[in-house]
Structure 1
Amino acid sequence: MTQSLGIEQYKLSVVSGGKPTLNDFSSVTGNKNIARLSHDQLNYIIPFNNQIKVYSVETRQCVKTLKFANNPVLCGIFLQEQEDNESIVKILLGDITAPQQKNAHMITVFTKSGHVVVLNYKGKLVESPKHFKISLENEQLSNVFHSKGTYRILTTFKDVKQKAHNSLQSYRLHGLTFDESKAQFDVTFQAEWSNVILSNTSSNGKLLTLMNKDVSTKDHEHKSISVVSIFDDSVNLSFPLSSVLSSQTQSLSSNTRYVSSMAINNMGQQLAIGFASGVISIVSLADLQIRLLKWHIDSVLSLAFSHDGTYLLSGGWEKVLSLWQLATNSQQFLPRLNGIVIDCQVLGPQGNYYSLILQMTENNSNSDYQFLLLSASDLSSKLSINGPLPVFNTTIKHIQQPISAVNTKNSNSITSINHSKKKQLRKLIKAKRQDFTTNVEINPINKNLYFPHISAIQIFDFYKNEQINYQYLTSGVNNSMGKVRFELNLQDPIITDLKFTKDGQWMITYEIEYPPNDLLSSKDLTHILKFWTKNDNETNWNLKTKVINPHGSSVPITNILPSPRSINNGQGCLTADNNGGLKFWSFDAHEGNWCLKKISLPNFNHFSNSVSLAWSQDGSLVFHGFDDKLQILDFDTFKKFESLENTKTVSEFTLDSEIQTIKLINDTNLIVATRTTLNAINLLQGRIINSFDLYPFVNGVYKNGHLDRLITCDEKSGNIALVINQQLANPEGVPTTNYKSRIIIFDSDLSTKLGNFTHHEYISWIGWNYDTDFIFLDIESTLGVVGTTVNTQLSDEVNNEGILDGLMNNTTGTLASSNDVFAEQLNQLSSRGKSDASDKDANGNDEDEEDITLEFINGEKKDKLVNMNSFTSMFDNIQNVQMDTFFDRVMKVIT
């Protein structure tokens, strides 16, 4: 199949973002953190779902990134085995396949399905690193232990005999040796434990503690705790849980008997048990004597002993790290953390560092984690690591909320924890509306990404791949303290929209405040419009103007549109409501404040959330899409645009369904997306010149107005990017929770398709970066770019299946890969230019022109005219280009 010239301009690369990876070692607790300190304690190696990042502890900077997409071996393991949800479970320092070679720059990475890869974390990423596969039968790797040249692996498997208890895991411990002559790993069985509820290991990795449930008896409360040595038989004891419950807990609620976390000290002398009630029980394993530590008022989610056993670290819903000195029962606190503490560990040979994993539970559509590295001496922060923090419209897959004493929307109770995951997966598969879109804005000046995150914003640098700032913009309980128990039902204000003025000097936010539940006024929401500014040398934005209920009591704002530079130097904006009303706000230099300058009263007799706005560059015309009507308004009067007497201009269009978004291209074409079609309206001709069917991909899938997040336009070139998401089915045709997506690039009037790219995950947002590229975000929080100036240092995600992958093969008229109905429909969308060209002929264009258009769309324009402008685009990005690459570019222009 011949590639068209336009397609070669754009490339798709997945280059940034990602989520830090946790080890789902057990359902509730147990060494979730798999990040490692290097031997010299200068580097912190942390795996993400798309890369491994190495941070310098001294400078706090990311000093090395090992991107999976850059390497064929890593790409094959992590990016092409999406169905298995492959992830890293352990990182060991050094090359364990060559222990005699003392290479401090090597790490050995273990994955869930048994892949073992040896990588260099300081030098260049080797093209084909050492790669082995541990043969595991129906087992998944959970953890790897190492002591004096001896290795053990812990695996999990589902015991087929225990179908009624799907929440329980069975563990096996195996010895692991590497046979150099055969270049393979050998596994020898050591021990097995069934029906495990909880597990954890000591900080030196030599002791394992487990809690089992006895399912043979009818009394499901019968649980036992085991403590075993991993490398020898020095410790091996087991006792019933009831023997270490205090007398008062026997008769109280189930929260006082439900164990939410455990920890064992390095010497095997003390066991800490955390309960859902907030009590911590310290058990002396010599005589099973107990003492209680009481401070937490909700579930204890994480516990860890210091190396010498003198201190105990605990964390939970209070967003506070508590350090208990066990000899005196005195406490130290590290309060006001960004999230609840779901994991704490002691790192370093001398225990010099504490590592914490925080979960920001305010966002219940996604699991937002932050990794902290603290100095053990003064609890000062050394590193704070997280990826982008998008808030999705619907809860995505693989989300697990921590356990709490009460069941709220931010947590699981002890009665619901076993069912929540299955219920969520069933809901995701059956739901018709698969709307996982998110709201992101790009600052026009510094190109940073702004993620509204409930009552805060996260500022993320796409190019450096790190968080710049996290700032609370509203007043709520979570800004100052953690919520526990029934406080979790108090809803903080939510930032639902965010925009920048064209000069990037002002940020406009729209938030909704919720009154407490169970009141007569519980449905009376407060809508707030805020205007923010900041100086170049400041980190935080400062509030300048706050408007409460800008469109009237309980009237929401459905759209915000910053003004073009021709209106008050771009320091203005339009807001629209759900009844057709418009208001124009502008910064008044004399008042030193933002003021309401113009108003257009509601002119429709019904309500709709499908509201779109566009503005002409000269500021004279405003395009207002409301429900299925598109009106052209004169900005001066806010009335329908009326032309001169001798010309006829259409000032209102009625479309086939609700308008989702409108984009004005080059002041001549208006791109209008409805729930069923994508249209290009030529304003000079006053008619639709091109139209595509979007019905199979959009109808009923996205919430009104959310398709706007999946369509964007390059305001310089006029090119349009459209995202199409597809839910995948298994071989039997049953829908799954897996997705793939396509990004299609059109020119300004939708007549020519300039690119068609496939991505292996659901894309939640796409936006123009005020240059030549489109940036997108998927539900795995990875960031990619579709652009013409992709830097050679960025990783290319190769479009293996061809530009029209999986679609209709134009040369043969048959399906290229499968008889997929979705692919057939998408082909009609992406090759629709042929019929559009014949439409033009019916409108009076001659046939020669039609033939040229058809050939150009199919990439077969042979008689090409070369002139002085033909080579201009080659020099846009000429730095560091090799001679053969330069020669290829010349050949593309002249052939």
Structure 2
Amino acid sequence: MTQAGVYQQYKLSVVSGGKITLPRASNPSHSSKGTACLTADLLNYIVPFNNQIKIYSTETRQCVKTLKFSNSPQLSEIFEKENAQLADISLKLSSEENDLTLLTNDGRIISLNYKGKLTSNPKILRLNLEEGESVSKIFENSDNSFKILTSQIGSHGSAFTYKIYDLQIKGDLVETNLEYILDDVILSTWSNNSEFIACLFQKSNQRHIQIYSIWDKQVVKEFSLKSISTSHSAASPSSRYVSSMAIDSSGTQLALGFASGVVNVLNVSDLQGRLLKWHIDSVLSLGFTDDGAYLLSGGWEKVLSFWQLSTNSQQFLPRLPGIVVDCQSLGGGKFYSLALQMTQNLNSTDYQLILLNAADLTSKVSVNGPLPTFNSPVDIGSMPVSAVSTKASTTVSTSSVSKKKQKNKLKKGTRQDFTTTAGVNPVTKQIFFPHASAVQTYDFYKNEQVHYQYVASGVNNTMGKVRFELNIQDPVVLDVVFTKDGEWMITYEVQFPPENLLSSKDLGYDLKFWTKNDNETDWSLITKVIDPHGVNIPVTKILPAPTTVNDAQGILTADNEGGLKYWEYDDYQKNWCLRKLTLPNFNHFSNSVSLAWSQDGSLIFHGFDDKLQILDFETFKNFESSSGNSAIQNEFTLDSEIQAMRLVDDTNLVVATRFTLSAINLLKGTIVNSFDIYPFVNGVYKNGHLERLISCDEKTGRIALVVNQRLKDAQHEDNDTPQYKARVIVFEPSLSQRVGSFVHPNYISWIGWNHDTDFIFLDISSKLGIVGTTVNSEMLEGINSEASMETNFSSQLQKLSQQQGASAAVDDVDNEDDIALDFINGDNNNKVLNMNSFVGMFENIQNVQMDTFFDCVMKVVT
């Protein structure tokens, strides 16, 4: 590596990923949740994400335009720093032909040109709203008049106050006139043509339904729910709980979906209803076609049902990827837009949007972002209502309090571990995320999901789970790794036995080996190993072999008892076989297990608890020098449990324990550089999970370390979740110099090397970023200039080395310059002292004179 390479400039940029947002999903009173829309020519499908707006072509299925919020200082300020949420999208509100208008929940109206380049100065207007009032929907009329619907949490907690305003924009002035107020709304819906709104509300301890004509400003019909639900007034509360509503474009038909699975279609004029029975759990979404001839319904079964209302005949679109939480007719009835929620991931709210051709029900566009599975719940998206209480749902009785419980749990959790696991294919550079029983393949550079494949068999793979089936726990994929040649994918999963049995706690573990040809999309299973390390013994670490061992077609697995096994592909048997193993040699369990492998394949480094052993790969026993030199150490005892190890070159092994980050020179057998990291990473991850926050560039040997910190001062009453900041620190291989330090304004869950020149990271908002030296022009638009390194690296390093007296108080971080990490700057002029400094000194201390002991101490100190 040339000297110039040391001074290559790293940059941090958030350029990919993001979560699909259903803005109205967080408000339980809205039956219609999605805001995705079509352009007037029906050629483009507009999908909102939490960090961008993406526009897809309905003809080619490709993303044709991305409007990243980070590319505009104003949008970045609104959506990222002030945490405003997108409420609705309008294509008519702006007078310009190619303008897209975004409405935020706090009343901002933002006009963007969606065909040209994202302008740096979008037009922003502001509505004057009361405190606590939130924008929900904009209604558009054919004569270019507009109304705004706002909602506000009412006095009863689960009920809302609705207000409808007339909206007029004259140049830079916004005028709103209040036209209608409705209190104690429990559930609402509106027609496709924005003519009617129907609300279920509480009145004198009874539930009433009111249908209001938005443009005629009059109540069309108001009646008590009791008067129409006599036909199925069973004792069960789920048969009386309305879970979804829909009204047709003429205001003559109203559909009510109940938690019991029944759909009641009412004729508004005479309140005569008929019951449609097929669903066997809560009806989560309803929608009429534009002509009112068909009713669409969806729920837990992962099936979209079409009811022909004139004949009561039924058609189905089964085997959808998630439960149907929203369905609407778009483009004059030519398309159906579905919002699906993947409830199998309990720690994050994952949505997928599908645009269907109404003529033949073929998929025109399918959209979702990265689908990581975090170790702890990261958001407070409410789970859909079900007739049965499960982890994946809320019941009728607890629907009003479950969200509050979840919010309080998040606020109390000071030591949450939000890390996730992922694997990068060395050849395609695609990222593979384990997602419940499946693995998602995500292309970082195209910013698209490439593939989603179920790799573990479970009920959820083939059909939707309903009622008590929701309690059946499907297998979960815990890890995915690749061989160095990218030809083999290895997945590791855990199987859960049925509950309430004597064997319910006996988990099963499977190791699977997959391969695929270039022309195939699915990976094919070649070998499956059940309980690879024995019954009830989990695999804690999987490490692919270097290219020098069996052409890279081999892996090491380690368990929590200290056992090791080497597996390799046998060309003769066309199968994976167990070749070598060491039996557990420790008398206790530990999840702090790490592995590293020398490039020539001769040595294996096995970290178990606080012990580091060096093994000879040939004999699979402790390494002993052939020359008989006993000075070469084959075992180290470190200050605390080993969390991660990276062999960065032939001589340096970087080891992260709970307290320190150290570089061990293997030739000298001593620790050459060491930093205390305990004050900064304590409690931010579970034991053994720091491995997900450390990555190594195997070409240059550079190490990237992520440090997450919770911001105490940013925790306000109106904040749903705690606020975090992360710093990515890049070190030289021996930890002697710090190449760069970058701030990211969110918790980073995973960092990995892309097998090229860059590190890729993922945060808890599912945004993907890059820390690297090569950023192409498309990505350059998303670069966070504030977090970039100064051009003059040497002056930056000098400035860092001069900073003294860094405070160790982690929680009291006010700004990104005072994160109290500045002493981890690799400046080795002053001797660094920590727990590791004296470890070697105490290994042979018997019969040592006091003056000799004093000399040893002085050697370490000076």
Give the TM-score taking structure 1 as reference length: 0.88
Q: Residues 356-392 of structure 1: CA distance to partner in whole angstroms, max 9, x if unpaired?
A: 0011101111111110101111111111110011100
Q: Which residue pairs with 2:318 in the alignment?
A: 335
SS at the partner of 1:793? helix
SS of the residue corresponding to residue 501 of structure 2 reads coil
Equivalent position of 1:553 in the other structure: 535
Q: What's 1:374 paired with?
A: 356
Give secondary structure in 1 for the equivalent of 2:34: coil
Query: Are residues 833 and 142 of structure 1, via their aligned partners in 2, closer, same or farther at CA, if it must alter by over 3 Å?
Result: closer
- Give the whole-Å Cα distance in 1 for the aligned partners of 2:378 and 2:65: 30
Deviation at 1:133, TM superposition (A): 1.5
Instruction: Give the counterpart of 1:404 among 386, 394, 413.
Output: 386
1:6/1:755 contact within 8 Å kept: no
Residue in 1 that maps onto 2:134: 140
State which of 395, 401, 404 in structure 2 corresponds to 1:422: 404
Amino acid at match of 2:296: L
Opposite residue 599 of structure 2, the aligned amino acid is: Q
Alignment deviations for residues 738-797 of structure 1 (CA, whole Å, 9 cap, x no partner) = 211111111111121111111111111000001110000111111010110111221343
| Per-residue deviation, residues 798-855 of structure 1 (Å, max 9, x unmatched) | 34378699x9976575889x9974589976544344663322899xxxxxxxxxxxxx
1:312 alignment partner, SS class: strand
Residue number in structure 2 paired with 1:77: 78
Q: 1:614 to 1:485 in 2, by over 3 A?
A: same
Distance in 1 of aligned mates of 2:397 and 2:35: 29
- Pair 1:786 & 2:781 matched: no
Helix, strand or coil for the counterpart of 1:497?
strand
Match of 2:48 in 1: 47
Instruction: Give distance in 1, aligned partners of 2:214 and 2:682.
Output: 56
Q: Do the aligned partners of residues 6 and 60 (structure 1) sit closer, same or farther apart at CA in structure 2, a change above 3 Å counting?
A: same
State which of 202, 218, 223 in structure 2 corresponds to 1:213: 202
Q: Is the 8 A contact 1:19 1:781 kept in 2?
A: yes
Q: Write out aligned runs for 1:659-698 (5 A).
A: 659-698=642-681
Point out 4+ residue stretches in structure 1 off by more than 6 angstroms: 4-8, 731-735, 807-810, 823-826
Assess if the C-alpha contact under 8 Å between 1:744 and 1:830 holds in 2.
no
Q: Match for 1:155 among 134, 150, 155?
A: 150
Partner of 1:771: 756
State the distance in 2 between where 1:187 and 1:106 align: 22
SS at match of 1:261: strand
CA 1:80–1:609: 2 relative to 1, 3 Å: same
The AA in structure 1 aligned to 2:334 is: N
Does the 8 Å contact 2:249/2:292 carry over to 1? yes
Which stretches in structure 2 are left out of the alignment for 5+ residues? 791-795, 835-862
Q: Aligned to 1:422, what secondary structure does the other structure show?
A: helix
- What's the offset of the Cα at 1:189? 0.7
After TM superposition, the structure 1 = structure 2 runs for residues 361-760 of structure 1, keeping only pairs within 5 Å, are 361-643=343-625, 644-646=627-629, 648-730=631-713, 737-760=722-745
8 Å contact from structure 1 (residues 397, 737) kept in 2: no
Cα distance change on mapping 1:185 and 1:822 into 2, 3 Å: closer
The offset of 1:341, in angstroms, is 0.3
Tell me the TM-score normalized by structure 2.
0.91
Cα pair distance change 1:801/1:522, threshold 3 Å:
closer
> Quick one: distance in 2 between partners of 1:459 and 1:233?
50
Match for 1:192: what amino acid?
Answer: I
Question: 1:324·1:331 contact (CA, 8 Å) conserved in 2?
Answer: yes
Which residue is 2:214 aligned to?
A: 230
| Cα distance in 1 between the residues matched to 2:201 and 2:218 | 21
Tell me the equivalent position of 1:184.
173
**Which residue of 2 is the match for residue 797 of structure 1?**
783
SS in 1 for 2:690: helix
Secondary structure of 1:63 counterpart? strand
- Count of aligned residue pairs for this structure pair: 816
Do the aligned residues in 2 keep the contact of 1:623 with 1:631 (CA within 8 Å)? yes
User: Is the CA contact 1:361–1:410 (under 8 Å) kept in the aligned structure 2?
Assistant: yes
Between the aligned partners of 1:203 and 1:115, the Cα distance in structure 2 is 24
Is the Cα contact below 8 Å between 2:339 and 2:353 reproduced in 1?
yes
Q: Which amino acid aligns with 1:797?
A: I
- The one of 147, 160, 164 equivalent to 1:169 is 160
Q: Deviations over 1:111-161 (max 9, x none)?
A: 1111111111112222212221122121211110110211100111234xx
Q: CA, structure 1 residues 664+813, in 2 after alignment: closer, same or farther (shift >3 Å)?
A: closer
Amino acid at match of 1:299: S
2:662 counterpart letter in structure 1: N
Looking at structure 1, the residues matched to 40 and 389 of structure 2 have their Cα atoms a distance apart, in angstroms, of: 43
Residues 783 and 812 of structure 1, relative CA distance in 2, 3 Å threshold: closer
* Alpha-carbon contact 1:7-1:755 (below 8 Å) kept: no
Give 1:333 shift: 0.4
Q: Secondary structure at the match of 2:778?
A: coil
Structure 2 residue aligned with 1:240, among 224, 231, 242? 224
Quote the Cα distance in structure 2 between the aligned partners of 1:833 and 1:815: 12
1:519 positional shift: 1.1
1:89 to 71, 87, 95: 87
CA contact (8 A) 2:189 2:245 kept: yes
* Matches of 1:187 and 1:272, distance apart in 2: 32
Q: What amino acid is aligned across from residue 48 of structure 1 in structure 2?
A: F
Identity of paired residues, percent? 55
Cα offset for 1:233? 3.2
User: Any conservation in 1 of the 2:336–2:357 contact (CA below 8 Å)?
Assistant: yes
Rounded to whole Å, the distance in 1 between the matches of 2:399 and 2:7 is: 49
Q: 1:875 corresponds to which residue? A: none
Structure 1 residue aligned with 2:858: none
Partner of 1:890: none
Aligned to 2:262: 279
Alignment of 1:326 with 2:309, yes or no, is yes
The CA deviation at 1:437 is 0.6
Shift of 1:475: 1.2
1:502-548 deviations in whole A, cap 9, x for unaligned? Answer: 00000111111111111111112111111111011111100111111
Give, in whole Å, the separation in 1 of the partners of 2:276 and 2:497.
36
Matched, 1:346 2:329: yes
State the alpha-carbon separation in 1 of the partners of residues 800 and 484 from structure 2.
43
CA distance in 2, matches of 1:557, 1:808: 45
Secondary structure in 2 matching 1:69: helix
1:484 Cα deviation from its structure 2 partner: 0.1
Distance 1:751 1:382 in 2: 54
When residues 801 and 784 of structure 1 are mapped into structure 2, their CA distance, relative to the original with a 3 A threshold, is closer
Match of 1:867 in 2: none
Q: Secondary structure at the match of 1:745?
A: strand
Shift of 1:670: 0.9
Which amino acid counterpart does residue 52 of structure 2 have in structure 1? Q
- Provide the C-alpha distance between the structure 2 equivalents of 1:586 and 1:257, rounded to a whole number of angstroms: 60
- Asked if residue 121 in structure 1 is aligned to residue 114 in structure 2, the reply is yes
* In 2, Cα distance between equivalents of 1:708 and 1:834: 21
2:410 and 2:722 in contact (8 A); partners too? yes
Report if the CA contact (8 A) 1:12-1:796 is conserved: no
The answer to whether the 8 A contact 1:452-1:498 is kept is yes
Cα distance in 2 between the residues matched to 1:152 and 1:233: 11
Give the counterpart letter for 2:830 in structure 1: S
Could you say what secondary structure the match of 2:401 adopts?
helix
Q: Which amino acid aligns with 1:746?
A: F
* Farther off after superposition, 236-245 or 624-633: 236-245
Residue equivalent to 2:846: none
Relative to structure 1, the CA distance from residue 733 to residue 92 in structure 2 (aligned partners, 3 Å threshold; closer, same or farther) is: closer
